């Protein structure tokens, strides 16, 4: 399989929460889009691994992605180990994505920022011709970082997901074991920060949408300078 875009994250539902609208938009435009979940989320308070995998499959259908896979690395125990990097590199060679979306390299959850580093180094290793690894050497052309979880970071660009917003919400709520639907909140006396996460992610999408004059958007960061060809036709008004 040759993908145009691959989103990589630590846990099932991370991709939906951080860049799900962008994946929907790219799939609608005809690009081959994929997701690589590094762990099964087995350390989460809610939901079994089997349940979360079924939810991830349902979410993938809503997103319209062509491929979704779970590497089965240990949740809450992601480390910078060569075997983990090689497992990612193997998938990069097999899927051959031109663009990869990774989590931002800083954050509250160790798995998130470790997944970022593992993903980058796995992409790099996949391009080493002499590496003892199955498949032809391949390295993605572009690496993007999703900064949804950190509003202190000024993004390099944002993607308008206004049209995709309701469908993104459906994909997030496909994880019924993780996020409360309307009516469930009153029956439980146990509060978890997770319960407000969907609401907060929606607010973030509105926040970045306001930056460019649209309803909702998702933010991304790149380490390199962005190139512009036509300075007479740039979007987003200055004054």
Domain ranges of the chain: 5-221
Is residue 182 scored above 70 in pLDDT? no
Q: How far apart are CA 168 and CA 5, in angstroms?
A: 17
| pLDDT score for 180 | 65
Pairing of strands 33-39, 157-160: unpaired
Query: How many C-beta neighbours within 10 Å does residue 142 have?
Result: 12
Determine the average pLDDT of the residues in 169-184: 78
Q: Which CATH architecture has domain 5-221?
A: 3-Layer(aba) Sandwich (3.40)
Is residue 44 scored above 80 in pLDDT? no
* Long-range pairs for 190-197: beta carbons < 8 A, 24 or more residues apart: 192/45, 192/46, 194/45, 194/46, 197/17
| pLDDT score for 191 | 43
Closest CA to 197 of 12, 11, 14, 7: 14
Is residue 113 scored above 80 in pLDDT? yes
Contacts of 48 (CB under 8 A, 6+ apart): 42, 177
CA distances in angstroms from 30 to 66, 107, 115, 156, 161, listed in the order given: 10, 32, 28, 24, 16
**H/E element holding 146?**
strand 142-146
Determine the average pLDDT of the residues in 43-57: 84
Is residue 192 scored above 60 in pLDDT? no
Backbone angles phi, psi at 220, to 5 degrees: -140, 150
Contacts of 8 (CB under 8 A, 6+ apart): 35, 36, 38, 88, 100, 101, 102, 103, 115, 119
Q: What is the DSSP letter of 232?
A: T
Closest CA to 23 of 81, 57, 67: 67
Determine the average pLDDT of the residues in 219-235: 94
Q: What is the mean pLDDT of the chain?
A: 91
**The model's pTM:** 0.91
**Cα-Cα-Cα-Cα dihedral sign, residues 133, 4, 99, 18:** negative
């Amino acid at each position: 399989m040759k993908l145009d875009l691959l989103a990589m994250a630590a846990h099932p539902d991370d991709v939906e929460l951080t860049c799900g609208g962008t994946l929907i938009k790219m799939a609608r435009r005809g690009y081959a889009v994929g997701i690589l979940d590094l762990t099964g989320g087995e350390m989460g308070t809610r939901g079994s691994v089997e349940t979360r995998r079924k939810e991830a499959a349902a979410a993938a259908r809503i997103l319209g992605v062509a491929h979704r896979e779970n590497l089965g690395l240990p949740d809450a125990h992601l480390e910078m180990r060569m075997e983990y990097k090689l497992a990612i590199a193997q998938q990069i060679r097999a899927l051959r994505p031109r663009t990869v979306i990774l989590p931002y390299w800083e954050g509250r959850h160790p798995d998130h920022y470790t997944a970022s580093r593992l993903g980058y180094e796995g992409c790099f290793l996949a391009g080493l011709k002499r590496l003892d690894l199955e498949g032809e050497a391949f390295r993605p052309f572009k690496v993007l970082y999703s900064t949804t979880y950190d509003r202190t970071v000024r993004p390099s660009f944002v993607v308008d997901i206004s049209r995709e917003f309701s469908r993104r919400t459906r994909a997030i709520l496909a994880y019924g074991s993780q996020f409360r639907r309307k009516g469930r909140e009153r029956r439980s006396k146990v509060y978890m920060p997770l319960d407000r996460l969907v609401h907060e992610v929606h607010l973030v999408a509105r926040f970045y949408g306001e930056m460019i004059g649209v309803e909702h958007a998702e933010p991304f960061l790149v380490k390199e300078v962005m190139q512009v060809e036509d300075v007479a036709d740039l979007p987003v008004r200055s004054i």
